[in-house]
Structure formats: C-alpha cells, structure tokens
Chain A
Amino acid sequence: QKEVEQNSGPLSVPEGAIASLNCTYSDRGSQSFFWYRQYSGKSPELIMFIYSNGDKEDGRFTAQLNKASQYVSLLIRDSQPSDSATYLCAVPRTGNTPLVFGKGTRLSVIA
C-alpha cells in the first residue's frame, strides 16, 4: 500500500459548488497532515494543516481528519475558477523525517 494516496482526478466542479478532495494514508502513527495547492508550473504552497480529529476551518477551506479511518479531506466552499489547481496531501513519515506527498488531485472549477 502506498504511503499517501489521492485520486488524481481531474475533479470538475461548477463555480460556487463545494469541492471535496480526499487523501488516505497508511501510517497509523501519523500525527499531522498538510494540504498544499500547486498551480500549473509553480511550486506548492501550504494552505492548511490539521493535527486533531475533526474539522478545521480557514476561510473557504475546511480540513477534516479521521484517524480511525486514516483519511484526511479538504473541502473548498464556494469554489472559484482561481481554485483550479493540483492539491497535494502530505503526511510525515514515522519519526523525525520529512513529509511524504501524495501525487495530488487536479481540481478544475468551471465558470
């Protein structure tokens, strides 16, 4: 099983809808989870992180974590065409080691 898995997409949603992006991870000991957004040809930028079970909201973004089921999701409310990008999920490896990145989900918001 891959360490971090994401559906590659593309996920297409109409403008104003809620986009739901999902990520599953294999290491039950993972304690922190990160979402990055990457526009085409650009470098990733951090948009959310979550450490505790439940929801964390930041503006139009909500991260949801379910450690028992080993998944983390990102909801984008009122999706805009400017949200069209690839969204990367990242999880630390065990111990004091760097993040492992999923391959990303490509989101397309249709005006």
Chain B
Amino acid sequence: DGGITQSPKYLFRKEGQNVTLSCEQNLNHDAMYWYRQDPGQGLRLIYYSQIVNDFQKGDIAEGYSVSREKKESFPLTVTSAQKNPTAFYLCASSVTGVGEQFFGPGTRLTVL
C-alpha cells in the first residue's frame, strides 16, 4: 500500500528541546518536502530535497534541520533555536522536483 507516513501524529515538546519528526514514503519519489502550517498562514516551505544526499532551504528554514540519507526518508529536526515551533507540520513528496505533490497525514507539534 503506497503512501507517505509521518510520525508521531501528535508531539509535545518542552521549551529548549530538540525534536525530530519522521517522514517516510514508499512511492519511489525523488523529491521530498517539509511544510509548516499555522492558522490563516497557508503552507510555508521549510526544506526540500530533490535527490538523496542533497537538500535546500525553503522560505522559513531558520531553527530547523533535515537530512536525506535514504530516498525513502526525510526527517525534520525542530531545534531549540526555532522560537515559535507550535504548528502543523506536513511532509510531501513528488516524482521529480516539479509537478504535483502528495502529502502525508501531518504531525501536530505543541510546545509546552
């Protein structure tokens, strides 16, 4: 059953902690993306990767880090440097770096 999985669904973090959000896809897509969604803000691009072992910053990369060691996986780390991390985080993938993107179910992060 092909798709994109994200875990956990809900995540709670204390201030000053780093947390890592998981994103896995078995669609054999080359490109993967991380977005952040806040109420009324739409989707904002954090990082994207068009090929293994390469990634680029998006519009709001500060306070985040990623890795792309495997085609199937694109984890996002929210560091303590991110001042307002409470948001809905969405991972997406596409066949190549252009064209339609398909989304995972999302992770809702709350900072306590």
The answer to whether B43 and A96 touch across the interface, beta carbons within 8 angstroms, is no
The answer to whether B105 and A44 touch across the interface, beta carbons within 8 angstroms, is no
The 7 closest A-B pairs by CB, nearest first: A103-B42, A43-B103, A101-B43, A43-B106, A96-B97, A98-B48, A44-B103
Q: How large is the interface on B (under 10, 10 to 19, 20 to 34, 35 or more residues)?
A: 20 to 34
| Interface hits, B1-58 → A, CB 8 Å | 31, 33, 35, 40-43, 45, 48, 50, 58
Report B-chain residues with C-beta under 8 Å of the C-beta of A92: 98-99
Assuming the contacts A88-B42, A98-B58, asked whether A34 and B33 have C-beta atoms less than 8 A apart, the reply is no
Please report the C-alpha to C-alpha distance between residue A74 and residue B41 in the assembled complex, in whole angstroms: 21
- Say yes or no: is A49 at the interface (Cβ < 8 Å to chain B): yes
Please report the C-alpha to C-alpha distance between residue A4 and residue B93 in the assembled complex, in whole angstroms: 21
Please report the C-alpha to C-alpha distance between residue A49 and residue B101 in the assembled complex, in whole angstroms: 11
The answer to whether B43 and A97 touch across the interface, beta carbons within 8 angstroms, is no
Report B-chain residues with C-beta under 8 Å of the C-beta of A98: 31, 33, 45, 48, 58, 97, 101
The chain B residue with its CB closest to the CB of A95 is B98
Assuming the contacts A8-B40, A96-B50, A98-B33, asked whether A42 and B105 have C-beta atoms less than 8 A apart, the reply is yes
